[in-house]
Amino acid sequence: MKNLNLTLDNLEEMIPESFTQEQKAKVKTLFYKELALRTHRFYNGKMQTLPKAPVVGFNWFNAWYTPGVSNISTTIRDNNDTSYELSNRGNLVAVVSDSTRVLGDGDCTPPGGMGVMEGKAFLMKYLGGVDAIAVCVDSKGPDGKNDPEKIIDFVKMSQYSFGAINLEDIAQPNCYRVLDVLREECDIPVWHDDAQGTACVTLAGLINALKLVDKPIGDVKIVYFGAGASNATIARIVNAAGADPAKSIMFDSTGALHTGREDIKKDKRFYRKWELCQITNPKKVETMEEAMKGADVLIALSKPGPDVVKKEWIEVMGDKPIVFVCANPVPEIYPYAAKEAGAYIVATGRGDFPNQVNNSIGFPGILKGALMVRARKITDNMAIAAAEAIAKFSEKRGIHIEDIIAKMSESEVFPYEAADVAMQAIKDGVARKEMTWQEAYDLAKHDIEHARAATQSLIDNGFIKEPPQQLLNEALETAINKVK
């Protein structure tokens, strides 16, 4: 095979030219899955714990541990807020999941979510300068059903060790109650990244996409395909940012949402969906075919594709249609197919296609901003402020239809976003600590640069080894053979 010099940058060139666009897209998806398996086994995961204080001699353990450290315990006992200064709590996030809705793979059992939660911790550290640990918990009750109260109790009991909690991959409807209860009853920010994080970055992408097609957010007709935690929260945040809910229609696996959906009304666990039933789709449109006629925007977060979103649906949309197809690991329709059907701007959740609308551009900066001012919660206003910051940063450096939003490789976006979030927390009255925008920006930038430099130092000094070329070659060969 012609893959001896394979890198992640020249992957496209190493795929056989005879393959169709769809085959090439499948190869890339399978390659990353195969590569992930091989590299995670090679490194035994991707996170570790290292000291932040020096060991200048073994007598220093008398200060780092006993007897000196007792003074730390009693000082924090007398004023719990000093835990943010005397421990790593102020920059530490727990990524908590019961692994019941992991990406597009469903219930993976509690330890099955470790790869994703470690990945979240990895991104927080490298992109946001935030320390994080993966915590996968068993939420099953005696009856074998997943019980949201178990997650709620766990987080409430463990909150004193962390500066914030990032909820992840908790299936609906449990995710709604877990977030809503913990946001109000915890004294630290509790953030559901699948929902709020995805909503924030989707709004950022939508703001810039609408600028490019010159359409005000309050005037556009939006169709939401999928009504899980992500899309339901996207709809709420987009409405809060100025969209008209009466001009939107949402679909779940059963059909369109509207006030006639007695099944949703009766099931009190789905109260977030029922809220949307009451304010969207006043004409009770029932089918996607009808809903998509003249639509300006499609936001799909349903199930992995391709061909989940039909070309025929896009063909009947309005002028210069915007299509966000963000299922992972495969979008509901491949971007090339959406473009063939007439889409003007297409975004997905993947970084190997143009316009990645993925929460990786949001949560590191949002959590950093909340942590820096020791926020008690992350408000919807803070999420909207983050979206507007991302959109503004992206617009300043230039946007076009194939590049509507900053990429995670653009490190400057994160301190910019973090500073805006910190200022909004102060404005909303949820911050314990005040600082100026410039102070917040400088602190976030310093911590992010420190995290990246420390990682690079570990690589340069051989403590983190480069992935063997053989692993890349084997992953590509396996992927190509599966698609042939």
- Which positions are annotated as active-site residues? 65, 120
Cβ-based burial of 12 (10 A; exposed 0-12, middle 13-18, buried ≥19): exposed
Looking only at the bridges linking them, the beta strands covering 190-192 and 322-325 are unpaired
Q: Computed from CA positions of residues 330, 333, 336, 338, in that sequence, does the dihedral angle turn out positive or negative?
A: negative
As to burial, measured by CB atoms within 10 angstroms (0-12 exposed, 13-18 middle, 19+ buried), residue 318 is middle
Prior bond to 173 cis, omega within 30? Answer: yes
Measured from the Cβ of residue 376, the count of other Cβ atoms closer than 10 Å reads: 18
214: left (phi over 0), alpha (psi -120 to 50) or beta: left
With contact defined as beta carbons under 8 Å apart, do 351 and 407 qualify? Answer: yes
Distance in angstroms (rounded) separating the CA atoms of residues 198 and 26? 24
Dist. CA 150–CA 110, nearest whole Å: 13
Q: HSE-up of 159 (CA within 13 Å, CB side)?
A: 22
Question: What is d(CA 19, CA 113) in angstroms, rounded to the nearest whole number?
Answer: 33
Question: What gap in Å lies between CA 147 and CA 376, rounded to an integer?
Answer: 25
